[in-house]
């Protein structure tokens, strides 16, 4: 991956190489994005769109990478990471830390990170419902409509499950 960052015609090669890394390597993605190279940024953003590629096929040992990605300065990385946090591929012992990260991300500067956080909070286990509802409550009044809608939907789903 490091060699690809400096190769000519690097954009798609970097995105492909990073997509092949399992568990997902958010530090490499951040390193590529930190360069501020439009040739890399556009394909990287495209590769990280929720639902694309192996970024969303978590390896059982990738939880630490997901938590690290949630703390990235890059919103596109936080978006990808937040979707990984509640994966059933991770041991149940990771759930409290995942919930804490989701609670923190409920007030993220990026509305898309907040929206994806609201959706992820809607997938918590029964034991975490009270904490998830507490995090979702203020999100129902978010200034951004798609965040409000996602938060209200997750809140309604969890309210019926509690």
Residue 18 confidence (pLDDT): 60
pLDDT digits (tens, 9 = 90+) for 10-52: 565 666 566 555 556 677 778 778 878 777 777 777 777 766 5
Q: What is the dihedral of CA 150, 132, 75, 49, to 10 degrees?
A: -50
Residue with tokens 């000519």: 8
For the ranges 2-6, 52-56, 121-125, the one whose mean pLDDT is highest: 121-125
Mean pLDDT of 83-109: 91
CA 69 – CA 24 distance, rounded (Å): 9
Counting residues of the chain whose pLDDT is more than 90, the rounded percentage is 42
Handedness of CA 38, 117, 122, 145 (dihedral sign): negative
Tokens of residue 35, six digits: 């360069």
Select the more confidently predicted residue: 153 or 45: 153
Q: What angle do CA 127, 68, 46 make, to 5 degrees?
A: 105
Select the more confidently predicted residue: 8 or 143: 143
Select the more confidently predicted residue: 114 or 5: 114
CA 64 – CA 105 distance, rounded (Å): 16
pLDDT digits (tens, 9 = 90+) for 98-109: 999 999 999 999
What pTM did the predictor assign?
A: 0.81
């Amino acid at each position: 991956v490091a060699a690809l960052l400096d190769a000519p015609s690097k954009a798609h090669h970097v995105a492909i190489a990073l997509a092949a890394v399992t568990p997902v390597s958010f530090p490499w993605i951040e390193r590529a994005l930190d360069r501020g190279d439009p040739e890399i940024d556009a394909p990287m953003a495209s590769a990280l769109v929720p639902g694309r590629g192996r970024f969303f096929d978590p390896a059982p040992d990738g939880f630490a990478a997901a938590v690290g990605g949630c703390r990235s300065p890059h919103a596109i990385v936080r978006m990808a990471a937040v979707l990984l946090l509640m994966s059933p591929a991770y041991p149940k012992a990771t759930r409290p830390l995942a919930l804490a990260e989701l609670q923190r991300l409920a007030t993220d500067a990026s509305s898309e990170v907040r929206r994806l956080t609201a959706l992820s909070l809607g997938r918590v286990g029964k034991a975490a419902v009270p904490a998830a509802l507490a995090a979702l409550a203020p999100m129902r009044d978010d200034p951004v409509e798609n965040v409000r809608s996602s938060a209200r939907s997750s809140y309604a789903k969890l309210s019926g499950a509690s």
